[in-house]
Amino acid sequence: MTTLVCRVYNRVFCIACVSTKVPDSYTGLLGTGNVVHGCSRLYQAGCTGTGAMVTLNRLSVEDPDDGSPLLPEAAEAAIPTPVSHWKRVVTKTDSREFFLSRNENLALSLVLLIGGYSAVLIPAYFHLDQVATFSDDYKHPKDLALLNQSAALLSDPCQPRWCLNHLKPLSCSAGLLDIPVFVQQDRPASWDLSPPLGLQGSEEHLALALSSLPEPGLPPSLRREGSCRRCMVVGNGGVLYGSHLGSHIDQYDIIIRLNNAPVPGFERDAGSRTTIRLIYPEGAPHSQNEYKKTTMVALVVFKSLDLDWLTSVITKQPLSLWSKMWFWREVVDDIPLRPENFRILHPEIIHKTGQVLQKYALKQGNMVPTLGASAVVMALQICDQVSLAGFGYDMQHPEARLHYYETIRMDAMKAQVVHDVNAEKLFLRDLVAAGAVTDLTGAL
């Protein structure tokens, strides 16, 4: 019995026979009596090797002994087109069905990415009413000992140069002294580093912004030549919620706040006035009520376009729609302050703070500190005594409140990869341990 073996790959047929005599009906295709030796090697893409290769539209093969069709689904045979020479032919195979197409791969990757981020972020945005720690309204201070410590500190007279005297023994003190606070013509920023560590590539943008500032430097009220000054840096941490420190905070000479941290409605815990608010465009408060008791707004430059935004706010000439598209969040067009109440934070503050944090970090490289850590270093340049409130991330309690003004949970910090909050916590702890600063909310 003569056996003819056929394997179908789309419309290409590979006839592979081992010492098999081809039927006479295939005369003209392979020749009567020809014996095909060897087996074709079947690759994923098709049939190759020493087998005979033909391309057919339709094929009907009958067993010469009993006349039964080997390919019953074929009704009739078409004239085959013989292959003129032996060659390797690569064709598509059914094995492709086991793999996803490029578009399907892209869609699956997108679904997995969104699912991963959702698993981390969605629980962090659950309302905190379900959390026992924040179930009440804190009609009474949650920590009387800390509140009494704050009251005792304010009852003592201000101590000139207190911060500097307690900072010097620290190994990191050399990088924290005599840093320019605001950008001005006579103390330009470094052009070797890109924002926020320098102003490389922003020369024209900076020149235009400085030309719109009547007083770009340090105002007389913030210079050390005056009387002894106490400074309060108000962080955005949830630990501030329920502290009842608001009336104490308002007694400080200089009060520094960060980005869009609100004041109206939170006076009991956060105070009611602001001396300096550090912002970048996307973080500027949208409500004009936030600026009613604000003395100064200082821009932290993260990109050249931030300087153009400041110029537009001061000159009351809104940015073009094209420029606004490059911000990752909607920005305000107007801040109700006079031009002399705006400043540009010197990038050296950010750079020096990042260099100090390197001593506490496990991973080396240029580090971008948070605005909170940068604000503390800025306060050390202009204040005799510095106190902190609302600092510290309690990562041991992921259900805790992240910010004092909203119900996002602490575990939302897992999604950020820009800042090394552990290094910052160690740095601030050293400042507190040395007595250079005082932590009024006890989370460090």
Asked if pLDDT for residue 165 goes beyond 90, the answer is yes
Three-state SS annotation for 97-164? HHCCCHHHHHHHHHHHHHHHHHHHHHHHHCCHHHCHHHCCCCCCCCCHHHHHHHHHHHHCCCCCCHHH
pLDDT at 218: 84
Q: Which H helix or E strand runs over 314? A: helix 304-315
Q: Which of 70-79, 92-101, 171-180 has the lowest mean pLDDT?
A: 70-79
The fraction of the chain above a pLDDT of 90, given in percent, is 50
Is residue 411 over pLDDT 70? no
Query: Which pair of tokens denotes residue 425?
Result: 């916590």
Separation between Cα atoms, residue 268 and residue 421, nearest integer Å: 27
CA distance 381 to 231: 11
Evaluate if residue 69 carries a pLDDT over 70.
Answer: no
- Domains defined along the chain, listed by start: 1-99 (no CATH), 131-185+222-301+341-439 (3.90.1480.20)
Q: pLDDT digit string (tens) for 276-325?
A: 999 999 999 999 999 999 999 999 999 999 999 999 999 999 999 999 99
Q: How high is the pLDDT of residue 417?
A: 56
Percentages helix, strand, coil for the chain, rounded to the nearest 5?
35, 15, 50
Give the other-Cβ count within 10 Å of 179's Cβ.
16
Span 84-112, pLDDT tens digits: 444 444 444 454 555 667 788 888 888 88
- Rounded to two decimals, the pTM is 0.69
- Residue 364 confidence (pLDDT): 77
First to last CA, the chain: 90
State the pairing for strand pair 12-15/52-55: antiparallel
Cα distance between residue 326 and residue 309, in whole Å: 11
